[in-house]
A and B are shown apart, each in its own frame.
Chain A
Amino acid sequence: MTAGGIGRPFARGVVTSQEWEAQDLAQRSRSRGVQLIANCPPGTREAVSGLVRSIKVFPLDDVLSFEADLYDGTGRVSLVWLGRYRIAGIRAGSEVEARGRLIRYRNRLVIFNPAYELISRQPSSGAP
């Protein structure tokens, strides 16, 4: 969903909760001043922010990695930290701003070892 297309669902008069959520997230990204994922071409250094939809741990010595799936209403990007089992504070439902080079890896957008910042946690993931 491009920035220009956000107005259309309102014109239809009916918005699904997913569309509403997507618009809300995109709005928050814009208000933070970062790029929307849909507008980031691979290969560039960018800052993006959004909601962590899922995290993935892999506790084997040689391939220790922690992954967080970021979604900002317009697209998905996987934040991958190599050599780390957990990143404290990043959970499913956290809001995160990440900075790094976007790479196209196996048909997904990935940022390896990004610089990140935790934004205030969403209350929907349960009590802090």
Chain B
Amino acid sequence: MFKQLMVGRAMASDRLGETLLPKRIALPIFASDALSSVAYAPDEIFLTLSIGGLAAYAMSWQVGLAVVVVMLTVVASYRQNVHAYPSGGGDYEVASVNLGRRAGIMVASALLVDYVLTVAVSVSSGVQNAAAAIPAFRGHEAVVAVCLVMLLMAANLRGVRESGAAFAIPTYGFIIGIAAMTGYGWLRYLLNDLPQVESGRFTLAPQAQFSGGFMGLAAVFLLMRAFSSGCAALTGVEAISNGVPAFRKPKSKNAATTLLLLGVIAVSMLMAIIALGRRMNLNYADDPSQQLLLNGHPVGPGYTQNTVIAQLSRAVFDNFPLGFYWVTAMTGIILVLAANTAFNGFPVLGSVLARDGFLPRQLHTRGDRLAYSNGIIILAVMAVVLIVAFNAEVTRLIQLYIVGVFVSFTTSQTGMVRHWTRLLRAEQDPEARRRMKRSRVINSFGLVMTGLVLIVVLVTKFTRGAWIAIAAMAVIYVVMRGIWRHYDHVARELALETDEAITLPSRVHAIVLVSKLHKPAVRALAYARAARPSTLEAVSVQVDATDAETLLTEWGLRRIPVPLRILDSPFREITRPVVEYVKSVRRESPRDIVDVYIPEYVVGHWWEALLHNQSALRLKTRLRFTPGVVVVSVPYQLRSSAVAARRSAAAAPGAVRRDQPPAAVSDQMIEDEYDPL
């Protein structure tokens, strides 16, 4: 009862898609993933540059600027995407339609890996930020992160109602918090009142390879690494292209505007944080125990390094601790929300892939528990594996994160270029042609940029962990392609020929299997007679001579109007004599169908199932390979099956969506015996 209440109250989380969103609500919902990456992107830039020491730090704003350029290019490109493909298929649709099935599978595998990493990175980063405010988390980040993932999984399994407010408040809170932090920081800077962050009292020593100075090829490589890590800020931008149908009309225009807003906000936040960090002497190191020097000596492993946002907000709001807690809290919440969008997107993508035949077809039924709960569980498990394997270290997880995102960026931009080229071939109107050409230029530029970044990411990150992501993508690609091939072969095998002759069998011979004369046997006989076969015969196998005698006697006493045939069983088995007999009937009349009626006990408990129906199951399996034979299971519900009936009726959350109450199975229904004779 309680469970029914819970299932009844909870709504499927994709209900959100059924109410159209105004921009002010759509922005937080779709932007949470992209904005949340502002929480860890500046960290990554500073951290990677710290390897080169202070001289490298001086380049931090240039690296940030490069990331900004890529971000704005991607935003501009995706504005073309949302106009051209307003159906919400996102990168997958663009790639499949324009570049073919294989590109579609590639993008799909990149996206799937991406979702897992979104959860892992967002939750780990959230815990990292929270550890600044809640020191109890320190040292146990992995455990806390795993618990958070489990909570998210449980919440999504139950069916979380995604209301706009739940997203809007933390997202706007985050934006306000960061804006306030940077605004107040700049104010204090102008008033010469800007304090240092807590790591400002240290000096930053470069790592071994740069101890002689920051120059040469190694320096360039390090800058590239920092840039590719900073591109983590772009993760989540494509989410809007998946959500265009949810916008109010005009959908594409609103989506494009939201994208622009998102881009501008994200870019401003990124640059503001980097600039402020530099002004406040931020020293964020890759290996803090060795690189951060206090009075010339390394601080050692005892020192815990807080995230950039945590350090900045604590220092800027040093006389206003509420500000610090606000910023940290909002950062944590928006990261959790970003992880939650992955829990929604992953099963939806799985469902779409199942529809197209790349994943098992049964995942496509959206109301079904299968797609959602299995997808959610798989996502949570994989994220936990990653979190544990990398000990919730955001830096290491990011190495895997970016490559998937840029694979799908590059592929979708290639698809868009193809799209415009294809349309331009047919379009005559000069105005439209001009627009298309302009879009094509934008997408081409986007393609070049994302392609370059992809190469940089691969070069700089392959050995550091990107190979794991690529290996995972490759495995998923192979599996999905294999599944598609299988479905394709089967479809071709089953397709009707152009002149398919549908030959009708001439007669039906019905055989009813009885072991003893009891209620299920009588029911099976009644159902078989009701089907009006050409011939009807009851068949029993003589395993024990006395039982056969009893059966024969009773048969005669009750004058059952169906002939009874008793088969000999020299080896005390049931399956072979029956199969042999069925085959002989088929041999005598090859154009006739044989219907084999088998009574089946319906039980309530799993252990009961072990005690019944075993021979019937074996027989069914053997008969399955005999052509021209139909096996009919005649169920007989035992009293104990009421338990199972109640269980199966209450279980499906799909029933909630269809507004059906769970079926009531009464014992009265079991009691009502159907006595056919």
Using a CB–CB cutoff of 8 Å, the interface residues on chain A facing chain B are 51-60, 67, 85-86, 91-93, 107-108, 122, 124-128
Contact = CB atoms under 8 A, between A and B. Distances in A.
A57 B542 contact: no
Interface residues of B, number: 27
A57 B564 contact: yes
Contacts of A57: 552, 555-556, 563-564
A124 B570 contact: yes
Given A85-B556, A107-B588, A125 B564 contact: no
Contacts of A125: 542, 545, 568-570
Nearest to A107: B588
Contacts of A60: 559, 561
B650 interface: no
Interface of B: 537, 542-546, 548-549, 552, 555-556, 559-561, 563-572, 581, 588-589
B545 A126 contact: yes
B560 A59 contact: yes
Closest 8 CB pairs of A and B: A92-B568, A58-B563, A124-B570, A56-B565, A126-B545, A92-B542, A93-B568, A59-B556
Nearest to B537: A56
Nearest to A128: B545
13 contacts: A51-B568, A54-B567, A56-B537, A56-B566, A59-B560, A60-B561, A91-B549, A92-B542, A92-B568, A93-B545, A122-B570, A126-B544, A127-B545
A91 B559 contact: no
A92 B581 CA distance: 13
Nearest to A86: B552
A52 B565 CA distance: 12
B424 to A, nearest CB: 72
A29 to B, nearest CB: 17
Contact of A126 (B537, B543, B559, B564): B543
B571 A124 contact: yes
Nearest to A65: B563
Given A54-B581, A93-B570, 20 more contacts: A53-B568, A54-B565, A54-B566, A54-B568, A57-B552, A57-B556, A57-B564, A58-B563, A60-B561, A91-B549, A91-B566, A93-B569, A107-B588, A108-B588, A125-B545, A125-B569, A126-B542, A126-B544, A126-B545, A127-B545
Nearest to A21: B570
A85 B555 CA distance: 10
A106 to B, nearest CB: 9
B542 A59 contact: no
A126 B547 CA distance: 10
A67 B552 CA distance: 13
A123 to B, nearest CB: 10
A24 to B, nearest CB: 12
A92 B564 CA distance: 12
A107 B585 CA distance: 11
A25 to B, nearest CB: 12
A55 B656 CA distance: 55
Contacts of B549: 91
A91 B588 contact: no
Nearest to A51: B568
A9 to B, nearest CB: 19
B203 to A, nearest CB: 88
Contacts of A127: 545
A56 to B, nearest CB: 4
A127 B543 CA distance: 10
Contacts of B581: 54
B568 A59 contact: no
A108 B588 CA distance: 9
A128 B544 CA distance: 10
Given A60-B559, A85-B556, A125-B570, A55 B565 contact: yes
Nearest to A54: B567
B567 A53 contact: yes
A56 B544 CA distance: 17
Contacts of A85: 556
A28 B266 CA distance: 95
Contacts of B545: 91, 93, 125-128
Nearest to B571: A124
Nearest to A125: B545
Nearest to A123: B570
B585 to A, nearest CB: 11
B455 to A, nearest CB: 65
A69 B552 CA distance: 16
A53 B544 CA distance: 15
Contacts of B565: 54-56, 67
A90 to B, nearest CB: 11
A128 B555 CA distance: 21
Given A55-B565, A57-B552, A57-B564, A93 B542 contact: yes
Nearest to B561: A60
Contacts of B556: 57, 59, 85-86
Contacts of A54: 565-568, 581
B591 to A, nearest CB: 13
Nearest to B568: A92
